Amino acid sequence: MWEQIRSNRIRSGFVVAGMGVLLVVAGLALGGALGGGDPGALLLGGVAALGIWFVLWLVSIQGGDRVMLRMAGARRIEKRDHPQLWNVVEEMSIASQLGRMPAVYIVEDPSPNAFATGRKTENAAVAVTTGLLRVCERDELQGVVAHELGHIKNRDVALMVTAGVMMGAIVLLAEVGVRALWFGGGRRRSRSSGGGGAEAILMVVAIVLLILAPILSQLIYFSLSRRREYLADASAALFTRYPEGLASALEKISGVAVPLADQSKVTAPMYIVRPPGPDGAMRATSLTATHPPVAERVRILRSMAGQADARAYERAWHQVTGKGGALMGARTLAASGVALAAAPERAPEPHAETRAARARQASDAFLSASGYARIPCPGCGAILKVPSELAGAVTACPRCGTRFRDE
Amino acid sequence: MGEGFLLLFVLIAMGALALAVIWFIAIYNGLVRARNEKDNGWSQIDVQLKRRHDLIPNLVETAKGYMKHERETLEAVIQARNAALAARGPAAAGRAEGALGAAMTGFFGLAESYPELKANTNFLSLQEELSSTENKIGFARQAYNDSATRYNNRRETFPANLVSGGFAKAELFEIEVAGEREVPQVQF
């Protein structure tokens, strides 16, 4: 995966550098307008812009990896909590040659979704909702996990955090700047010796820039986010050699329009599918969409014509989206070698569990990861899940009413 | 005037030489990394194969109580497993592991007709373990082949092929048993 990481990193590096230029230009414009064309003020503006970015960046890397997990209420699981999920993550870690297995978390949420966090491979973590575990067969789960590990392998989390901070700095600068120009510009005007004309032009230029910069940077940010989603889909197809698995999972996920509890445009890019809005509707595509439309992603995966490598995905992507330009770098495509065949249609699992059984297993895993003990009732034999706080207390079985002390 | 040009020429030549050395080092290191990745991929396969060897006896013991009339099948599985354990050398090991994989597929196909066995939670968890191990063996092989292909590509394409004399070509891990390629048909 060396070539893929490197060529994508270079391209994304250019994008982020472009945003950085935008940030500095906005800062310069602000400084210039406030200082009435004074080069010292210009410089100060640029330095201030970089300063804002630096501070925001520092804040973002403080425990940033675990913030999202905590926000979603995720619980870390061990292998015994949900062996199938654990095994799937382990299988995909091997297939992606990640080196070490990421931490595995479960989120209690009926909306099927999954996300990955961790700027470095050592801190990597992948989380799935109980909704996803309920809805997906093993092959589909494998596709979803492969997509998330693809994000980790392609260093997307670090990239989106960097771009997000950049965008945040630009937006902040623009808001502050427009206000400063509006109220503070008037005072300075009298000090300048350059005359009204140049001043006014500078102000106009600055205001225009400060309005355009955040818009432009957001467009760049969301376009980058969508591109990385395609790449993660391509990685998933490559790792599993079974694009149909992910395609079918995406279909199922988008068909269940239950709103996700953790709603935010900031965390949305990390999920595999854009979480549905509070009213349950999947919002229409727009330039500010963090994810490409699910239908399109599914079509691309299904147009790969029995191949599973990077070139096949790129071909399918061109065919379905009709976009010009390249999705992946030339090096990635060249390095993908001989066309890799996708695995043939898999035989269905012999003991395919029902949805109810999967749902039960998923919530059991979440409870067990949350420290709940499984106590059999001495009266009727039903298995009770008791939170750790009640250890040693007298509990009553809800089914038969027997009271006993939970040792 | 002449000395100025000579100095410039020497500086440029030295700069070009330095660049060439750096370029050479980068290419060499890239080849070494690719080769290490490939070797690591190979050892991953071994890890998963060993795991499979360790899991099988337990599985067969659990099944014995239920599959009393299938002694030959069960014994065949154990024998295949021991053969794989004893095999030496990549070619023999490849064949033995392929045979073991086929035996496991047959075993699981057979287990479908024993509903009591399938209800045994111990058996189910062992089956999940084993089927996951089979998957991991497959993925480890796939990952090895991917990294071996990348290594070979790097070795053979320009500009690395100028300096890759000391690097041996990697072999891809091919499937040894023809039967393993087929998708198992479950009959009812």
pLDDT of residue A286: 60
B84-122 pLDDT, tens digit each = 888 877 677 778 888 888 888 888 888 888 888 777 777
Confidence of residue A344 (pLDDT cuts 50, 70, 90): low
Walk me through the domains of chain B, giving residue ranges and CATH numbers: 44-181 (1.20.1440.20)
DSSP string, A91-147: HHHHHTT-SSPPEEEEE--SS--EEEE-SSGGG-EEEEEHHHHHH--HHHHHHHHHH
Query: Full-prediction pTM beyond 0.90?
Result: no
Chain B contacts to A (CB-CB under 8 A): 30, 33-34, 37, 40-41, 44, 48, 108, 112, 118, 124-125, 128-129, 132, 135-136, 139-140, 142-143, 146-147, 149-150, 153, 157, 183-186
Architecture of domain A64-150+226-335: 2-Layer Sandwich (3.30)
Question: Mean pLDDT, to the nearest integer, of A328-341?
Answer: 64
Helix (H, G, I), strand (E, B) or coil at A304: coil
A63-112 pLDDT, tens digit each = 666 777 888 888 999 988 898 999 999 999 999 888 889 999 999 988 88
Query: Domain spanning A371-405: which CATH class is it, in words?
Result: mainly beta
- Distance in angstroms (rounded) separating the CA atoms of residues A167 and A175: 12
Whether A90 has its CB under 8 Å from any CB of chain B: the answer is yes
- Helix pair A294-302, A243-255: axis angle to 10 deg: 160
Taken in order A276, A279, A284, A285, is the CA torsion positive or negative?
Answer: negative
Asked whether the predicted pLDDT for residue B182 surpasses 70, the reply is: no
A407 counts as catalytic: no
Question: Mean pLDDT, to the nearest integer, of A123-151?
Answer: 92
Nearest chain A CA: its distance from B139 CA (Å): 5
Nearest chain B CA: its distance from A17 CA (Å): 25
pLDDT of residue A4: 53
- Average pLDDT of chain A, as a whole number: 79
Partners of B37 on chain A (C-beta within 8 Å) are 2, 97
Domain range annotation of chain A: 2-63+158-221, 64-150+226-335, 371-405
